[in-house]
Every structure is written in structure tokens, then in C-alpha cells.
Amino acid sequence: MAMAMVSLAAALWGGLLRLGWELPALHPTLSLMHGPLMVCGFLGTLISLERAVALGRWWAYIAPLLTGIGALTLIVGLPGDAGPVLVTLGSLGLVGSFATIIRRQTALFTVTMGLGALAWMVGNCFWLAGVPITGMFFWWAGFLVLTIVGERLELSRMTGPAPWSRELFLIAAGVYLAGLVIASFRFDVGMRLIGVGMIALTAWLMRYDVARRTIRIPGLTRFIAANLLAGYCWLGAGGLFWLFPGGLDQTRYDAILHAVFIGFVLSMIFAHAPIIFPAVLGRPLRFSLAFYAHVVLLHLSLLLRVGGDIMASFPAYQWGGMLNVLALMVFVANTIFAAAQGARAALEPRPTGRSLPVSGLGPSSATRG
């Protein structure tokens, strides 16, 4: 967890450098490592760690350990392929974890998440082979999209099967997976298929995810649902951007990437952090309305950034990116403060019949919003 947070801090610093803000570079290649640190060092390590906790096997912790160490080598700028090699081995470890999970419980949602882990490993192999990130980033996006959609699919089955839901999901996911494969050989065709798959998955999530109903329940449940629905909107918007990749100039590339990686993925992190962090760390987390501060800031800043991309306004793009970083910093601060409050509340004696307003669910409950 500590290595993941260090990776996040370094990724944000590198992102600000890429946005054109004048900051100390720390080392010459840090700005180029923004994407790998964010996807592999931060998100990959967190997802691998959450799976390891869920499995409860010592060997499953090797995957997040490898990706965390690999990210540290990227941060300090060690020459050679040590970082990509360690990250790729870590992603192989996550594939192994999902192989065990699928063997224990063969279901559509476990297979979907397993395919997400496989997409991450494929993307890492391309990266290790020297393929530019602009030529393989869709595999990293596939890792996160399939992992998240698989988790939501797990919850949808608990509310009872809806007519045609499974078949429609298979069609949407099949188009998306086909796009990932084809984009490696025919970029424009594959990107358009990925865009169609994203839009289809968005429609499926909007129709069948329980967030449509749980948005009416106040407290943490409504907070989770609001983040989920906002994230689905960004996934659909990202699908529209991916339909028209064009020449993939800087502004188009920025909108294509960040509608998904910031709008969709970070919305999912914001939604599940009050449950996942206590499960992984074994410490309670007190939810408060202050959590909405980083959510509102994230979406407003992303609208500014993507608007800057569309309108070719560099100041809007640059300030939108800066406020994206600020939203993440507020998120981290809110989470630390809530953890401190939750720890204090857990130590206080409580009257009989009064429940603690903290989250302390197990790892498999990370999607119960």
C-alpha cells in the first residue's frame, strides 16, 4: 500500500510536468513515466493487493510486491528494463491469482476480471518489447475497464438475473475484447470497435447496475452510487472519443485517455475506497459528506480539461489537469482523516444498540455499493 501511494505521488508529479508546469524534474524521465506509474505502480499494485487479501494466500502478495518495487525503480530512474520486467512479472502473478480464483469459482464475472488481468499482462509485454505507449495504451485501459465491469457484474447477479442481461453483456464485452486485439494490428479499426464496446458496456451498466436504485438510499450507499453513475457517464463519453481517434494528436490523445482513466476509473476508486481501504488495511474508515468535495472537484476539473482539449485551449487543459491533481490530493487527505476518525471511534466505548458509522467489510465486499 505504501509503495502504491508513493507511485501515485510520483505519477501526479510527472503528470504536472507533462502538463507544462515548471517543477523540479527529479530525474529526466519522470514525466515519461506518468502513465506507467499511474496504471501499473498505483492501480495495478492496489488491485493485485486487494486480490491477494481476498485469496488469503502468501504467494498472491508476490504480485503487488513486484509491481511496487518495479514502480520504485521507475521513480528513481534506474537504467535498463528492470522496472518494466518487474511490473510484467507482477502482472503475471495477478493472472496466476485469477487462475486460482476462476478455478475456485468459475463464473462470468471472475472470467471477465481474469481477462482484465490478462489484458494488463499483454500490455506490459508490449511495453517491455519497446512498443510506444501510444501503440498499446488500450491494453492498459482494458485491464481497468474489464476489472471494474467484472466487479459490477458480480453484484448484478446478486440482485437476481434480468432477462437478456447475460447475453447483452457477452455481446458488449465481446466487441470490446475484439477491439483490443484488432487495435494491435489495425489501430483505427480496433479503436472504433473499442469505442463501440465501451458505449455498449455503458448502456449495460446504466440498465442493470444496482446504482440506479441505491442512489435513493442516503449516506455511504448514495455516495457510492453517485460515483458509479458519474463514472459510467465518463465511460460512455470516452467511448465516443475512441470512435474517432483520428491522427491521435496531443489534445485528442489526452481526451481519449483521461475520460476513461480519470473520469471512469477514479470515480470507481472514489466509490469503493471507503470499503476497500478498511478491508485491505484492517482499519475502519468513517464516512462523511466531506467526501463529496473531492468528487465534485474531480468532475468539474475534468470537464475543464476535456473542454480545453476539444476547444484547443491550452490554459483550460493545463489548469484542468492541475485541478485533477488537487482533487486526488483532497481525496487522499479526506481518506487519511476519515481513517483517523474511524480508529478513534473504534476505541471509544459505545452504548448497546448503537452501531458504529464505519466501514469494515471484507475484501469480497468491495463492490457491494
pLDDT one-digit tens code per residue, 344-369: 766 666 555 443 333 333 334 333 34
Q: Is 246 helix (H, G, I), strand (E, B) or coil?
A: coil
Q: Where do the domains of the chain lie?
A: 1-104, 210-345+356-369
C-alpha to C-alpha distances, 50 to 1, 224, 227, 230, 366, nearest whole angstrom? 10, 18, 20, 23, 9
Please tell me whether the overall predicted TM-score, pTM, comes out greater than 0.85 for this model.
Answer: yes
Please check whether residue 196 is in contact with residue 180, taking contact to mean a CB–CB distance below 8 angstroms: no
* pLDDT > 90? residue 59: yes
What mean pLDDT do residues 282-309 have? 91
Q: Picking from 2-11, 24-33, 182-191, 320-329, which range would have the lowest pLDDT averaged per residue?
A: 24-33
DSSP string, 35-84: HHIIIIIIIIHHHHHHHHHHHT-GGGGHHHHHHHHHHHHHHHT-SSSHHH
* pLDDT > 90? residue 116: yes
What mean pLDDT do residues 44-59 have? 92
pLDDT one-digit tens code per residue, 161-206: 567 888 999 999 999 999 999 999 999 999 999 999 999 999 999 9
Give the pLDDT confidence score for residue 63 in this predicted structure. 96
Q: Is 217 helix (H, G, I), strand (E, B) or coil?
A: coil
Cα 346 from chain centroid (whole Å): 30
Q: What is the phi/psi pair of residue 169, to 5°?
A: -65, -45
Q: Picking from 105-119, 150-164, 207-221, 303-317, which range would have the lowest pLDDT averaged per residue?
A: 150-164
Q: What is the phi/psi pair of residue 150, to 5°?
A: -65, -40
What mean pLDDT do residues 114-135 have? 95
Nearest-angstrom CA–CA distance, 109 and 102: 9
